[in-house]
Amino acid sequence: MGASESRPTLVPPFERLGEWTLSRVEKLLADYLAKDLDFGLDYHGLSSILDGDKEWSERIIKAFGSQNGLINVLSFITGACLVVSGTPDEKAALCFKAFDFSGTGSISMDETTIMFMCALRGFSMMTGNSQAPTDEAMEICTIELYKSLEKDNYSKLTKEEFLKWVVLKLHLDNSKDLTWINFHQVFGMKSNDLSAKAPDAARHNSSDQIASSDSTLS
C-alpha cells in the first residue's frame, strides 16, 4: 500500500497523538465498542478508554468546546485516525468501521454524512484549523459519492466502494501522494500554516481539481 504520509502539526492538548500509531487508534475504537459506551462521553467515560487518564480527558473535552461536558467520542476517534501515521486506505477503512454499527460491512447515506462530519471536525480541532467543513459541505461530499456510484438515497455504501472513492476524491495514485495541503483544500478546510507554505502552482492546481469534482453535482 506504499509509504505512509507525513503527519500534520498538532495543537494542545493533542500533541501526544503524534506518538500514536494507527494500531493504537484501532485499540481505542475496540475498547470503546467493547465497553458499549454512549456516543457522548464525559471525562470519566473518555478516560476509561484512555488508560484512565482523567486529566488529559478533561483537557480534550474542553478543547472540543463542549457546552455540556460531553464529547462526541467518534469525532475524537476518527479525528485521531486521520492525524496519526498511516496510509489513506487504512485510515479510511478504520473511519468506516467506526460507523458500521451493524457490522455488515456497509453504512447508510446518513451514516456516511455523519462519518464525514465527525472525522473532519475532529481533524480540524486537533490540527488547530479555524474553520471545519460545514454540514452542507459534508452533505455535498456524500451526494457526490452516491452519485458517482449511481446509488439512490436508500442504498448502503460498502467499505470497498468507499475506499475506491477516497482514492479518487484525493486524486491519489498511492499513499505518498497525500499531502495535508491537498487534504485540507479538497474538503474545504482552511489552514493558514499549511496554505502559507504551499507553492502558488500547487494551490491553483488543487483548486482546479476541486472545481472539477464539484461540477459533477450540477
As a whole number, mean pLDDT of residues 205-209 equals: 32
- Specify the pTM: 0.80
106-158 pLDDT tens trace: 999 999 999 999 999 999 999 988 677 889 989 998 999 999 999 999 999 99
- Is residue 186 very low, low, confident or very high in pLDDT (cuts 50, 70, 90)? low
* 3-state SS track over the chain: CCCCCCCCCCCCCCHHHHHCEHHHHHHHHHHHHHHCCCCEECHHHHHCCCCCCHHHHHHHHHHCCCCCCCEEHHHHHHHHHHHCECCHHHHHHHHHHHHCCCCCCEECHHHHHHHHHHHHHHHHHHHCCCECCCHHHHHHHHHHHHHHCCCCCCCCEEHHHHHHHHHHHCCCCCHHHCCHHHHHHHCCCECHHHHHHCCHHHHHHHHHHHHHHHHHHC
Could you tell me which residue, 134 or 210, shows the higher pLDDT? 134
